Structure 1
Amino acid sequence: MGKINQGILGGFSGKVGNVIGGNWKGIDYMRVKPASVANPQTEGQVDQRTKFSTVLKFLQPMTDFVRVGYKLYATKMTQFNSAMSYNLKNAITGTYPDYTIDYANALVSRGNLTGVLNPAATSSSPGEVSFTWDNNTGNGNALATDKALLVVHNASKGVAAYETAGAGRSNTSDSITVPADFSGDTVEVFIGFISEDGKEVSNSAYVGSVTVA
């Protein structure tokens, strides 16, 4: 309950309805208490949060990889936030609430280094995914010493295996070890390159889906 201090024309302290009165440095004041929002989860907010959760589920298992893959885009934000921003805008498909990652448009690394040429991936041995590509050394700024960036993402298990300094571009092949329980699972495979000095990174390329042996 509010209390009138100096008669009916004076200031008051306390609360009357949604009006709060008080005195600050000898000055009487009144302010309106903000109305509470019964349901802050508007349709748009829920939709955006669902998209955000979809991308987070995709990127979180490869957090350390993303820190390398997006190192050139960490201006006024972290590498991970930069990757979240890009993939929220470009790699979501479906309609609410059934959003999924459009892997062909997703980037797990991003930069201006010349990318991979004719990548392919297979799994013929348990616990291993093998990559091949053509040697495009000399195209653009591609160097023979550029190192492969490899990602194997298991969406069903929420786990990713990755390599941030794989074989050289001129080697044209590499492999990555995956957990034994990946056997029989379908995984999504990406490849990119990083310069030997770590200063340049290429956009990743989505190689496709592979069933682990």
Structure 2
Amino acid sequence: MATLNDSVLQGASGKIGGYVTYTVGNKTYARKLADTISNPRSEGQTTQRSKLPGAQTMYRATRGSMLEKVYTLVAREEERRSGYHWFLHANMNMFGPNDYIDYPRLVLSDGSLQLPFGMKATAIHADKLELEWLDNTSTVTAQATDQLTVAAIFDNEPYQPVVLDDTGFCRSNGKAIVPVPEGTWTTAHLYCFFAAQDGKRYSPCMYFSTSKS
């Protein structure tokens, strides 16, 4: 890739010969076009192409929700262009052909808050999740008032993450019972994380799942 500053092509965009030019801000770049793909429908390339639409679909479903705010904040912390670009970077490889989603590895929250130590499920039922953890309140990255938050994805709406109602539990409680909403779902994927009381910082998430018998 070449930079075309002080060139007659500065500000140009489009294909020129075997190159494509484009402008970002005040700089114009030229990049050699990729060679013709001999087998554009190979298994590997088909799998790769299927990842982006899945990630985009799930991100669009978070617009206007707390999750979109989480992605915007963590993008700033990691100096990424936007919450959208952060989400794609974190999750694109979790999607695949035929609506495949690697739910346990999906990242629905991240940030500078710490998760509590030893967070675990002590009981998992179709209608509730019981959790315990060690209170690690000690620094600005772990406050007693940090609120337990749970996002869920139900198998009948596989691209639609939703944030459950306020659990009412904080880091200092050391345990929680999280009701799981009724519905026509069979499996619920649950992502537990903590939110600062002022809503300006969030933690990574921990994954659990429950299925109806």
Aligned counterpart, 2:193: 192
Letter of the structure 2 residue corresponding to residue 169 of structure 1: R
Task: Give 1:199 shift.
Answer: 2.2
SS at structure 2 position matched to 1:114: coil
Sequence identity of aligned pairs in percent? 19
Q: 1:22-65 CA distances to partner (integer Å, 9 max, x unpaired)?
A: xxxxxxxxxxxxxxx9xxx6657644330113334544444424
Q: Structure 1 residues 161-170 or 197-206, which shifts more?
A: 161-170
Q: Distance in 2 between matches of 1:180 and 1:97?
A: 26
Matches within 5 A, 1:108-187: 108-116=108-116, 117-120=118-121, 122-125=124-127, 129-138=128-137, 141-158=141-158, 159-163=160-164, 166=167, 167-171=169-173, 172-182=175-185, 185-187=186-188
Matches within 5 A, 1:9-20: none
Task: Give 1:76 shift.
Answer: 5.4
Q: Distance in 2 between matches of 1:65 and 1:46?
A: 33
Q: Normalising by the residue count of structure 1, what TM-score does the alignment of the two structures yield? A: 0.62
Aligned counterpart, 1:55: 55
- The answer on 1:79 being equivalent to 2:83 is yes
Letter of the structure 1 residue corresponding to residue 107 of structure 2: L
Task: Give 1:187 shift.
Answer: 1.3
Aligned counterpart, 1:27: none
SS at structure 1 position matched to 2:184: helix
Q: Normalising by the residue count of structure 2, what TM-score does the alignment of the two structures yield? A: 0.62
RMSD after superposition: 3.4
Aligned counterpart, 1:202: 203
SS at structure 2 position matched to 1:69: helix
Rg larger in structure? 1
Question: Do 2:151 and 2:161's aligned partners in 1 also have CA atoms closer than 8 Å?
Answer: yes
Change (3 A) 1:177 1:99: closer
Q: 1:154-212 CA distances to partner (integer Å, 9 max, x unpaired)?
A: 13333443138542112221424524323xx1111110111112222111111x32014
State how many pairs are aligned. 167
Letter of the structure 1 residue corresponding to residue 86 of structure 2: S
SS at structure 2 position matched to 1:180: coil
Aligned counterpart, 2:92: 88
Structure 1: segments with no counterpart, 5+ residues: 1-36
SS at structure 1 position matched to 2:119: strand
Q: 1:58-115 CA distances to partner (integer Å, 9 max, x unpaired)?
A: 44444424213322215553323321221114x35xxx74573323322101112111
Q: 1:102-160 CA distances to partner (integer Å, 9 max, x unpaired)?
A: 233221011121114323262354xxx33413132325631110011201211333344
Q: Distance in 1 between matches of 2:181 and 2:138?
A: 31
Q: Distance in 2 between matches of 1:174 and 1:59?
A: 28
